[in-house]
Amino acid sequence: MGMGGRISYEFLMTFCVLTGFISHETATFSRRPTTLDDFKNSMLLFGHEIATDTAGINVEPAGFIKAAELYNWRLIHTVAATATPSGPVTGEAWTRCADAILDAARSEQPTIDGVLLGLHGAMATEDDFDAEGLLLSQLRALLGPDIPIAVTLDLHANVTDRMVANADILCAYRTYPHVDQIATVLRAADLLERTLQGEISPYTLVARRTMLTGLDHGRTTTENPMTQLLAEADVLEARDEKLLTISLCAGFRLTDLDQAGPSVTITSDGDDLAYAVMADHFMDYAWAQRHFDSNRYLSVDACMAELKTALPETRRTLSGPIVIADHADNPGAGAYGDSTFLLKGLLDSKITNAAFATIYDPHAVRQLTDAGTGAEVSLFIGGKTDPKFGPPLFVSGRVANITDGRYQMLGPYARGSWQNLGPLVVLNIAGIDVLIASHCVQITELETFTHAGIDPRVRDVIALKSMQHFRAAFEPIASQLLIVDCGALASEDISRLPYKNLRRPIYPLDLD
Ligand SMILES: [Zn+2]
């Protein structure tokens, strides 16, 4: 459409767009349900408070507002909700969030021109492990076939046929660590606006292979199958104006869902067999490269051996801390955050000038808070959710600091958001400052340490619970990164997980 068309529409049309944001990555194997309180601890906003409370934050609703300014939309704000990955979302929490969207769709139905939702794509309720598919089918039933629905997804979405059948436009993040939340919303919004203008008729299709993992977990920090396919998507999109957008999702393996796993979705202007062929080509490559993994996973023992070798040089050159990621106990993937295997390894190896974040243990936080700053205390910490992932550890230490566990995140990931670890205690155990938290949260920010009076740049060793998002803030200060797979819930070894709904046979469980 030429400039003339755009100028005339500004005088003639103001579209009304229903928006909503619900993001949760659900590990259906977790024994810890995700409650309304878990959302309240991260983000749970309704109606008008969404615009004020998300302004300037790298989160989807801030993108909705930018889009509304760009296209002169009138927005209907419903819900903005996110919680740390954990077990299935309880009925109460799901109803509260989903009904905010569905009730608005019902009551404002005559005025709604389009829908723009920010969803995760790997969310599960206690009753339906394809929560996004459920929500979108209910929304479609309310609004009918003619109202365009645009959806943004996390790069770890398990994209189901039901999601694709009930959305017109799907746009997934293209970064991991995820830093392009706003850009993704703006891509979806551009396509929605063009649809509302009658310029395009978007159609979305999906392709998968018999694989549960692949695409190097979606990492975009290295040369790998994911970044190669994203680069190819850029080239194809640039030379074909009917090819509206390509989304590559790495999937999320801790969801026991028939259609879990990596996928490609293609949104095109009109339905054309050529795009199904293109999608197959993408997934053939993903299948061929399924074994590619850019990480080197160390056992705790192997990590301690490498640490002892590397530490003298790190100390001599002052080149920054060795950062150890506790990959398998990453709360960001639904693990329990209280595994003690790595902490025990560090203590047994007598590592000092180190900091460890975090052990999730609200009970220990209360005990230590009661003891007070400066107190010498012996107690059990961690290991309380499922002791097979590292039993409670008996330690003796000094309470070095007590905080409210709240601070603004200043790294590139979720910049501007407030993180809430709940009441937090720093317990110094034989030269390791161990942060013990009341909420189970992935550690991605330097501020986790600095808010508690610890400068991570001058420590020899920083250990944290994260898989990949930590790289955004910690890679620039680290002399070296070590990735530990201690065997906790989010371990690379998924052979022990009791899948019931997943399609079989599938790589890597049955096929090689
Ligand atoms: Zn993700």
* d(CA 179, ligand 1 centre) in Å: 10
In a domain, 505, yes or no: no
Is 24 in the same domain as 165? yes
* d(CA 367, ligand 1 centre) in Å: 34
In a domain, 444, yes or no: yes
Ramachandran angles phi, psi of 425, nearest 5°: -125, 135
* d(CA 229, ligand 1 centre) in Å: 17
SS3 of 496, please?
A: coil
Task: Find how far residue 379's CA is from the centre of its chain.
Answer: 33
- Mean per-residue pLDDT for 415-420? 91
Range of the domain at 153: 13-288
| Tens digit of each residue's pLDDT (9 = 90 or more) over 131-190 | 999 999 999 999 999 999 999 999 999 999 999 999 999 999 999 999 999 999 999 999
* d(CA 361, ligand 1 centre) in Å: 25
In a domain, 506, yes or no: no
* pLDDT of 413: 87
Let me know if 374 is exposed, middle or buried by CB neighbors in 10 A (0-12, 13-18, 19+): exposed
* d(CA 296, ligand 1 centre) in Å: 20
Identify the domain boundary among 288, 313, 337: 288
Is 110 in the same domain as 166? yes
Pairing state between β 74-76 and 16-23: parallel
In a domain, 504, yes or no: no
Is 179 in the same domain as 46? yes
d(CA 9, CA 11): 5
22: amino acid identity, one letter: I
Identify the domain boundary among 240, 260, 288: 288
Is 328 in the same domain as 185? no
Is 272 in the same domain as 403? no
Mean model confidence pLDDT for the chain: 96
* d(CA 178, ligand 1 centre) in Å: 7
Reported as a pLDDT band with limits 50, 70 and 90, residue 211 is very high
* d(CA 119, ligand 1 centre) in Å: 11
- Mean per-residue pLDDT for 122-134? 98
- Mean per-residue pLDDT for 396-416? 95
- Reported for 95-98, long-range contacts at CB under 8 A and 24+ positions apart, including other chains, are 96/36, 97/22, 97/39, 97/44, 98/22, 98/131, 98/134, 98/135, 98/138
In a domain, 198, yes or no: yes
Q: HSE of 428 in the Cβ direction (CA atoms, 13 Å)?
A: 15
In a domain, 369, yes or no: yes
d(CA 117, CA 64): 9
* d(CA 348, ligand 1 centre) in Å: 33
Task: Find how far residue 391's CA is from the centre of its chain.
Answer: 27
Is 19 in the same domain as 123? yes
Reported as a pLDDT band with limits 50, 70 and 90, residue 486 is very high
In a domain, 499, yes or no: no
Let me know if 168 is exposed, middle or buried by CB neighbors in 10 A (0-12, 13-18, 19+): buried
Reported as a pLDDT band with limits 50, 70 and 90, residue 12 is low
Is 311 in the same domain as 456? yes
Q: Is residue 121 scored above 60 in pLDDT?
A: yes
Query: Contact 51/176 with Cβ under 8 angstroms?
Result: no
| Tens digit of each residue's pLDDT (9 = 90 or more) over 460-480 | 999 999 999 999 999 999 999
* d(CA 249, ligand 1 centre) in Å: 9
* Rg of the chain, C-alpha, whole Å: 23
Is 225 in the same domain as 305? no
* pLDDT of 13: 73
* d(CA 262, ligand 1 centre) in Å: 12
* d(CA 177, ligand 1 centre) in Å: 8
| Tens digit of each residue's pLDDT (9 = 90 or more) over 333-380 | 999 999 999 999 999 999 999 999 999 999 999 999 999 999 999 999
In a domain, 29, yes or no: yes
Query: What residues contact 388, with CB distance under 8 A and at least 6 apart?
Result: none
Q: How many domains are there within the chain?
A: 2
Identify the domain boundary among 288, 311, 331: 288
Is 272 in the same domain as 326? no
* d(CA 150, ligand 1 centre) in Å: 19
* pLDDT of 5: 44
Residues with CB under 5 A from ligand 1 (ion): 154, 156
d(CA 173, CA 217): 13
* d(CA 156, ligand 1 centre) in Å: 4
Six-digit token pair at 267? Answer: 């949104």
Reported as a pLDDT band with limits 50, 70 and 90, residue 501 is very high
- Mean per-residue pLDDT for 206-223? 97
- Mean per-residue pLDDT for 87-109? 98
* d(CA 158, ligand 1 centre) in Å: 11
Supply the pTM of this predicted model. 0.92
Q: Is residue 512 scored above 90 in pLDDT?
A: no
Is 386 in the same domain as 251? no
Q: What are the residues facing 80 on neighbouring strands?
A: 21, 45
Six-digit token pair at 162? Answer: 């039901």
Is 241 in the same domain as 304? no
Q: Is residue 483 scored above 90 in pLDDT?
A: yes
C-alpha distances out from residue 29 to 334, 336, 496, Å = 9, 11, 11
* d(CA 217, ligand 1 centre) in Å: 9
Is 320 in the same domain as 187? no
* d(CA 146, ligand 1 centre) in Å: 31
* d(CA 355, ligand 1 centre) in Å: 26
* d(CA 162, ligand 1 centre) in Å: 20
* d(CA 250, ligand 1 centre) in Å: 9
* d(CA 176, ligand 1 centre) in Å: 7
